[in-house]
Each structure stands twice: as structure tokens, then as C-alpha cells.
């Protein structure tokens, strides 16, 4: 592989200093039109391309941000990631993906002191099993924005929707349809399950607001929020003496799994059991039945996260950690309100 063209080569050809070439290439001010043209010609002639590695080293920054998510093949994350990548690209940043597979150790290692620091200028993190300790121990110089899970302690930003309010809205929707034995699938009653617990809280609040009491045996916890978990939990619910007549699922995937179970056991959605999901992934818009769901504004979450992170990266003194709320709405589809007559 032949040597690459360097700044110096261009400088020589153009008869200026390499520093001037650098100025031209980076579009800095205070370069006369004459020089700029001459340099540009030399650049074109030699086919010069800046060496990103060298620039990174000299500037002490990498122009990359890392996005850490549990599972890449979870539609919610891949949809979100897609928007993050677009938003980052607009500002000239590349995105490095890291999958943790939900492994708390891996998550901890990532934000702990150092890690592969310098490979990225900041991190957007969607943790699953991260406890408060890990956040406290983290490298404080690493700009950080957290998605979804935990609330901010002031040293980083947190972007998400109001899980309690959203869950309450979802549950109220089921209640208002006349359902009274409402199950919830996805609780995680342990330290790392904060997000799940907030949804359970909303579930309870909705009951309280309507003067009802949730049945504890209908609140099912699951290790993850995926299809198999939903399917399994639903099987359990259907085996109860008194099965539910509605289910609030903590993700659309869980809802898809649950619906699969319901249908395969010969029952109908929503006639026998109404199902509501969470996330509004594309799957739910084309499934049979389509899924009523809580739809967070993903585009907004992504761009907000990227904007805040880039702000953090470029700030001298770290800005205060904000708690940022993205809007959400309830989207009614067939899994609760029934099928519209075939056209």
C-alpha cells in the first residue's frame, strides 16, 4: 500500500506552509482567496484526504460517540438508534455501537473509569442492570446521557418519557373499556428494575384513580421485555383459575408474545382479552391484531439525547444534569378496540 498524501505534500506543491494547507482544508478564516485557490488546486491534484487518526490525536478528540444498548435486535432500540445515528451524522459525529446483552458487569465496565476512553467523546447509554453505585463510580470526565431507565443525579442528562403517567394512561384505557381483571406483564421488583417499577406504579395509580384495586396475582414479572417472556407470562396467566380480561404489557414485544399465546390457545384479542403494549414499534402496526400502544416520540428522544451530549462534549464546565421529558401518546389499535370491518 503506497504512502498516503499528506498535508506536507500538498504544501510543497502549492508552495505554502503545511499550516496554511491545514487552514484551507478546515475552512478557517483569514486565508486570502488567492492562496485558498492555489491550495485547493494542489489538494485536488494530489487527491489529498485528511488523516482522521492524526487529527484526532492532535485535537485530543475522536469525533465519535458511543451508544450503549442492551440488545441491538430489539426493534425499539434499533429504531431509536437509527434516529441517533442520523442526528449524530448531522453534527459530523460517527456512532460506535456497543451491545451489553444486558450484562450488568459489561455495563459497569463501560462507564467505569477509562474503558476504551478516547475512542469516543461521549456516551449515550440505555442501561438495563445498572445500579446507582456504578453511576457514582463512573469516570466523571466522560460526557454521559442516559436513556429510559434511571433518573439523573445531576451529573448527567436523562432523556425519557414519563413512565408513570404513560402507564397510567395505558391502564386507564383498559379500565375505561370496561375491563376489570387487568394483568400487567413486565414488572421487575428488584434494584435494577426501576423503569419496570415505574410502569407498575402507573398501573396501580390508574386503578386507584378509578376506585379499583389491582389483583396482585395478575402482576407478572419477567426477566426481559421480549416475545418469549410475553408468551410465557401469558401462558401462566391463562392457567389461572380466573384469567384476566385485559393485559398491560411493558413492551410491544411482550404484547406480541402474549397475543401469540392467547390466539394459539384459541381465544380472541380483544374480545376475550384486550392487550395494550408500550413503545410503538413497527411490528405492532402490522401484526394481527394491530397493537394498541404507548407511543413515545422516539425522534425527539434521539435528537434531544444527541444534542445534549454534544453540548456536554463541547462545554468547558459541565452543564447541570437535566431531566428531559419527551412527549408520548396513546395509539389505539385493534388489540383493545377491536377490528374495523374488513374493507
Give the number of other Cβ atoms within 10 Å of residue 131's Cβ: 15
Using alpha carbons, list the distances in angstroms from residue 334 to 254, 275, 290, 343.
16, 9, 5, 15
Residue 54 makes contact with DNA by CB under 7 A:
yes
Binding partner of residue 335 among DNA, a second copy, none, CB under 5 to 8 Å per kind? none
Q: Least CB distance from residue 37 to DNA, whole Å?
A: 10
Q: Least CB distance from residue 43 to a second copy, whole Å?
A: 12
Query: 62: which 3 cell numbers?
Result: 475522536
Residue of 57, 191, 208, 240 interacting with a second copy (CB under 8 A)? 57
Residues 187, 220 contacting (CB under 8 angstroms)? yes
- Size of the chain, expressed as the number of residues it contains: 343
Query: 45: which 3 cell numbers?
Result: 491534484
Q: Least CB distance from residue 135 to DNA, whole Å?
A: 26
Residue of 8, 41, 180, 265 interacting with DNA (CB under 7 A)? 8
Using alpha carbons, list the distances in angstroms from residue 277 to 81, 201, 262.
20, 16, 15
Residue 329 makes contact with a second copy by CB under 8 A:
no
Check residue 214 and report its DSSP letter: -
Cα 115 from chain centroid (whole Å): 21
Q: Least CB distance from residue 255 to a second copy, whole Å?
A: 10
Site string for a second copy, 243-262 (x = CB under 8 A): -------------xx-xx--
Q: Least CB distance from residue 4 to a second copy, whole Å?
A: 8
Residue of 25, 165, 169, 263 interacting with DNA (CB under 7 A)? 25
Residue 119 makes contact with DNA by CB under 7 A:
no
The site for DNA, by CB under 7 A, has a size of 29
Site for a second copy in 85-114 (CB under 8 A): 85-86, 94-99, 113-114
- The 3-state DSSP class for residue 260 equals helix
CA nearest 43: which of 67, 16, 66, 82?
16
Site string for a second copy, 112-141 (x = CB under 8 A): -xx-xxxx---------------------x
Residues with Cβ within 8 Å of 157's Cβ and at least 6 positions away in sequence, in order, are 144, 145, 146, 305, 308, 309, 312, 321, 322, 323, 324
Site for a second copy in 268-307 (CB under 8 A): 282-283, 285-288, 290
- Residue 322 CA to residue 112 CA, distance in Å, equals 21
Phi then psi for residue 87, to 5 deg, are: -65, -40
The three-point CA angle 28-34-36 to 5° equals: 35
Residue 141 makes contact with DNA by CB under 7 A:
no
Residue 7 makes contact with DNA by CB under 7 A:
yes
Burial class (CB in 10 A: 0-12, 13-18, 19+), 337: middle
Residue 59 makes contact with DNA by CB under 7 A:
yes
Residue of 28, 72, 154, 189 interacting with a second copy (CB under 8 A)? 72
Using alpha carbons, list the distances in angstroms from residue 316 to 113, 153, 155, 311.
20, 20, 14, 10
Q: Name the site residues for DNA (rule: CB under 7 A).
A: 3-4, 6-8, 16-20, 22-23, 25-26, 29-32, 34-35, 48, 50-51, 54-55, 57-60
Q: Name the site residues for a second copy (rule: CB under 8 A).
A: 1, 47, 49, 51-54, 56-57, 60, 62, 64, 71-73, 75, 78-79, 81-82, 85-86, 94-99, 113-114, 116-119, 141, 227, 231, 256-257, 259-260, 263-266, 282-283, 285-288, 290, 339, 342-343
Amino acid at each position: 500500500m503506497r504512502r498516503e498524501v499528506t498535508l506536507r505534500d500538498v504544501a510543497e506543491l502549492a508552495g505554502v506552509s503545511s499550516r496554511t494547507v491545514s487552514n484551507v482544508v478546515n475552512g478557517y478564516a483569514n486565508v486570502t482567496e488567492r492562496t485558498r485557490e492555489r491550495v485547493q488546486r494542489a489538494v485536488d491534484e494530489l487527491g489529498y484526504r485528511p488523516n482522521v487518526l492524526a487529527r484526532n490525536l492532535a485535537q485530543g478528540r475522536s469525533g465519535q460517540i458511543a451508544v450503549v444498548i442492551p440488545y441491538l435486535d430489539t426493534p425499539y432500540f434499533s429504531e431509536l438508534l437509527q434516529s441517533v445515528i442520523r442526528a449524530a451524522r448531522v453534527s459530523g459525529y460517527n456512532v460506535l455501537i456497543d451491545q451489553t446483552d444486558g450484562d450488568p458487569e459489561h455495563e459497569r465496565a463501560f462507564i467505569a473509569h477509562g474503558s476504551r476512553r478516547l475512542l469516543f467523546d461521549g456516551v449515550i447509554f440505555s442501561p438495563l442492570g445498572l445500579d446507582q453505585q456504578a453511576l457514582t463510580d463512573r469516570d466523571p470526565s466522560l460526557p454521559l446521557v442516559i436513556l429510559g431507565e434511571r433518573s439523573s443525579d445531576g451529573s448527567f442528562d436523562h432523556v425519557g418519557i414519563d413512565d408513570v403517567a404513560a402507564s397510567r394512561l395505558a391502564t386507564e384505557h383498559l379500565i375505561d373499556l370496561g375491563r376489570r381483571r387487568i394483568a400487567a406483564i413486565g414488572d421487575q421488583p428488584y434494584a435494577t428494575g426501576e423503569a419496570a417499577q415505574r410502569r407498575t406504579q402507573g398501573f396501580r395509580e390508574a386503578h386507584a384513580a378509578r376506585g379499583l384495586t389491582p389483583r396482585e396475582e395478575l402482576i407478572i414479572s419477567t426477566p426481559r421485555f421480549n416475545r418469549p417472556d410475553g408468551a410465557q407470562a401469558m401462558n401462566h396467566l391463562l392457567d389461572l383459575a380466573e384469567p384476566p380480561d385485559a393485559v398491560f404489557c411493558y413492551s410491544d414485544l411482550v404484547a406480541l408474545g402474549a397475543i401469540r399465546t392467547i390466539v394459539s390457545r384459541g381465544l380472541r384479542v380483544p374480545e376475550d382479552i384486550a392487550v395494550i403494549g408500550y413503545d410503538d414499534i413497527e411490528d405492532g402496526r402490522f401484526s394481527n391484531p394491530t397493537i394498541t400502544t404507548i407511543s413515545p416520540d422516539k425522534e425527539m428522544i434521539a435528537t434531544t439525547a444527541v444534542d445534549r451530549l454534544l453540548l456536554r462534549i463541547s462545554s468547558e464546565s459541565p452543564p447541570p444534569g437535566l431531566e428531559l421529558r419527551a412527549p408520548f401518546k396513546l395509539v389505539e389499535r385493534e388489540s383493545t378496540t377491536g377490528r374495523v370491518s374488513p374493507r
